[in-house]
């Protein structure tokens, strides 16, 4: 599994389209979330409740992107993306299950 976490131009993007909460082996998968709100914003990625990556952004708008290419049996499980700010006024969780 290769997980890429990058910062890019602000976009309103949620993939795969139409939004699904489950993907299967062999799929390519991209999770894009536009973040707009009070900064700093911290984005944390978990796989099966284990911490995988965390990034903090301070700009006006940010896009957080996680990409998994060619999902394999090793990628199976539950993914959770936690978006929050230090003030506690923004807290969003997105979940995905790889079956």
Domain that includes residue 73, residue range: 3-98
pTM above 0.85, yes or no: no
What's the structural domain count of the chain? 1
Query: Which range among 37-46, 59-68, 72-81 shows the weakest confidence by mean pLDDT?
Result: 59-68
The CATH number covering residue 79 comes to 2.60.40.10
pLDDT (0 to 100) of residue 37? 57
- DSSP class per residue in the chain: --EEEEEES-----SSSS--SEE-TT--EEEEEEEESSS-EEEEEEETTEEEEEEEE-SSEEEEEEEE-S--GGG-EEEEEEEEETTSS-EEEEEEEE-
Residue 59: pLDDT band with limits 50, 70, 90: low
- Tell me the pLDDT tens digit for each residue of 90-99: 677 777 777 6
């Amino acid at each position: 599994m290769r997980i890429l976490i990058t910062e890019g131009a602000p976009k309103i993007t949620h993939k795969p389209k139409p939004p699904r909460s489950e993907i299967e082996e062999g799929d390519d998968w991209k999770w894009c979330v536009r973040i707009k709100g009070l900064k700093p914003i911290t984005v944390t990625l978990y796989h099966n409740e284990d911490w995988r990556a965390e990034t903090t952004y301070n700009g006006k708008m940010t896009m957080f992107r996680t990409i998994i290419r060619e999902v394999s049996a090793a990628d199976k499980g539950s993914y959770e993306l936690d978006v929050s700010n230090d003030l506690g006024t923004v807290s969003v969780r997105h979940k995905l299950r790889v079956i």
